[in-house]
C-alpha cells in the first residue's frame, strides 16, 4: 500500500478485480456503465495505482512536479511512490453511499474555467520528464474533439450542482492523454495529470471547494489499458488486425480454427515511429512510448501464463470447448498482452482482459498474478 494525499492505496488488484475493470470499460463503451465503488476521499489516491507491481511510474522531476502525483524525490520503485504534505487533511467517506445522489460529469464537456490550457502542442512525442507532447485536439466547432472543460470550470459550478441536491461528483479520468481523447481513456501515464484540465494545484482547489460544500469527489480510473500507440507485428496478416490467440496458438477463442500461429510481437504504430524519427534524440528502433510500461518481444518457449480466467458468473475456469489456458510460450517480460484483438463479447468474458480492447487500446497484463 502507498500513502497518498487522501489516504492509503488499496492493495494491488487481483485477477478477478482486473477482469471486472475490463468489463466495466466494455460496458461503458456500450453505454451501460457499471458502478465502481470507490472511496470518495481517495480522489487523488486512486490515481497513484500501478496494476503491475514490477512496472515503474513516471519519476518525479522538477520539470513535471506541478503535474506529478508522486513527489518522492529520487524514488524509482512505484511501490514506494507517495504524495506527502503534512498540511493536508483527510475527508472521510460517507457511511452509506446510497444516501448521496451522485452527479456524473465528463470534465472536458462541462465548463471551461481556464482557456489558457485548452491546447498545448509542445512536441511530436510524449516527454514524461516535462509532461509535454502533442496535447492538441481542441475545437469548439467539432463535437468529436475537445471542448475545453477543466477543474477550474468544475469548481465554478459546484454551487449549481449542490443546488440540484447532489452530494457527490463522479468525474472522468484525470491522467494525461494525447491528442484529442476528451473522455480521458487514452492515458499515456498513470501518475501525471492531464495538462488540459489544469495542474496539481488546480485539482486540489477543485476537490477542496467540493469538500467545503460537504460534497464528495469520485474519480473514474482505468487500470487495464493505456493509449493507442502500439501495434502488431505479424506475418501474412494486416498489422492492425490479429485474431485472438495465446501461447503457440492454443487457448483460441474459436476451437474450430486451431494452429493460427503464436502470439504476435508488438511495435509502436507507424504514426508514432514517424513522430519519433522527426524528434531529435528519439530512436525509432528502440523507442518505448510509455515510461511506465514497456513492450518486450523476447519469446520464452516454455513460459506458462500465471494468470487466471473467469467465466460469465465470475467463477475461475475456461468455457466448455476451449483448451486450458495453461499452454506454453509467450512474451513474459512484456507489460502488455500479446494475444491479439479482444474477441467479440459473445466469446467472452474469459478472454476480455487478455486481448487488445477494440483492436486499438494497448492492453496491460493486469491479470498477471506476478
Give the dihedral of Cα atoms 260, 262, 268, 274; nearest 10 deg. -60
**Distance from C-alpha of 354 to C-alpha of 370, rounded to nearest angstrom:** 15
| DSSP 8-state symbol, 327 | -
Residue of 195, 219, 221, 220 whose CA lies nearest to 67: 195
Tens digit of each residue's pLDDT, the chain (370 residues): 333 333 333 333 333 333 333 333 333 333 333 333 333 333 333 333 333 233 345 777 888 888 888 888 887 776 677 888 888 777 888 899 999 999 999 999 999 999 988 877 777 787 777 777 777 888 889 888 889 999 999 999 999 999 999 999 999 999 998 877 888 888 988 888 999 999 999 999 999 999 999 999 999 988 888 998 998 886 444 455 777 777 776 655 554 554 556 788 899 988 899 999 999 889 988 899 998 789 999 988 887 766 566 666 677 766 555 555 556 788 888 999 888 887 665 556 667 778 887 778 899 887 665 4
Instruction: Name the pairing type of β-strands 168-171 and 216-219.
Output: parallel
| Look-up of cell digits 488540459 | 196
Angle at 128 between CA 124 and CA 132, to 5 degrees: 45
Cell of 199: 495542474
pLDDT of res. 183 = 87
Contact 228, 269 (CB under 8 A): yes
What is the Cα 113 distance to its own chain's centre? 25
Query: How do strand 265-268 and strand 230-233 relate by DSSP bridges?
Result: antiparallel
Cβ neighbours of 3 (radius 10 Å): 15
Longest dimension (CA), the chain: 62
Cα distance between residue 246 and residue 213, in whole Å: 51
Question: What is residue 247's three-state secondary structure?
Answer: coil
DSSP assignment letter at 24: H
The pLDDT of residue 306? 61
The separation between CA 253 and the C-alpha centre of its own chain, rounded to angstroms, equals 25
Prediction pTM value: 0.74
Amino acid at each position: 500500500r502507498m500513502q497518498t494525499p487522501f489516504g492509503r492505496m488499496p492493495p494491488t488488484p487481483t485477477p478477478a478485480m482486473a477482469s471486472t475493470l475490463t468489463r466495466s470499460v466494455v460496458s461503458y463503451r456500450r453505454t451501460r456503465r457499471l458502478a465502481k465503488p470507490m472511496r470518495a476521499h481517495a480522489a487523488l489516491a486512486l490515481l497513484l495505482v500501478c496494476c503491475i507491481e514490477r512496472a515503474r511510474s513516471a519519476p518525479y522531476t522538477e520539470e513535471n512536479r506541478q503535474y506529478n502525483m508522486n513527489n518522492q524525490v529520487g524514488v524509482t520503485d512505484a511501490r514506494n511512490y507517495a504524495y506527502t504534505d503534512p498540511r493536508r487533511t483527510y475527508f472521510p467517506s460517507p457511511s452509506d453511499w446510497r444516501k448521496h445522489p451522485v452527479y456524473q460529469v465528463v470534465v472536458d464537456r462541462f465548463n471551461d474555467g481556464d482557456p489558457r490550457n485548452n491546447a498545448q502542442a509542445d512536441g511530436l512525442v510524449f516527454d514524461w520528464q516535462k509532461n509535454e507532447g502533442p496535447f492538441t485536439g481542441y475545437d469548439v466547432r467539432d463535437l468529436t474533439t475537445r471542448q475545453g472543460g477543466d477543474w477550474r470550470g468544475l469548481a465554478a459550478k459546484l454551487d449549481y450542482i449542490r443546488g440540484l441536491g447532489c452530494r457527490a461528483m463522479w468525474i472522468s479520468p484525470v491522467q494525461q492523454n494525447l491528442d484529442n481523447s476528451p473522455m480521458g481513456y487514452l492515458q499515456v501515464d498513470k501518475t501525471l495529470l492531464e495538462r488540459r484540465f489544469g495542474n496539481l494545484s488546480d485539482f486540489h482547489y477543485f476537490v477542496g471547494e467540493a469538500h467545503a460544500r460537504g460534497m464528495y469527489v469520485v474519480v473514474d480510473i482505468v487500470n487495464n489499458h493505456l493509449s493507442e500507440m502500439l501495434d502488431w507485428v505479424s506475418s501474412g496478416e494486416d498489422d492492425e488486425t490479429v485474431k485472438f490467440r495465446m501461447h503457440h496458438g492454443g487457448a483460441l477463442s474459436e476451437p474450430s480454427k486451431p494452429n493460427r500461429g503464436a502470439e504476435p510481437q508488438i511495435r509502436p504504430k507507424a504514426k508514432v515511429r514517424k513522430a519519433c524519427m522527426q524528434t531529435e534524440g528519439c530512436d525509432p528502433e528502440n523507442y518505448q512510448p510509455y515510461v511506465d510500461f514497456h513492450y518486450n518481444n523476447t519469446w520464452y518457449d516454455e513460459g506458462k501464463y500465471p494468470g487466471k480466467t473467469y467465466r460469465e458468473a465470475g467463477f475461475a475456469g475456461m468455457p466448455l470447448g476451449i483448451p486450458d489456458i495453461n499452454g506454453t510460450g509467450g512474451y513474459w517480460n512484456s507489460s502488455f498482452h500479446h494475444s491479439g484483438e479482444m474477441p467479440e463479447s459473445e466469446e467472452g468474458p474469459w478472454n476480455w482482459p487478455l486481448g487488445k480492447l477494440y483492436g486499438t487500446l494497448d492492453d496491460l497484463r493486469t491479470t498477471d498474478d506476478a
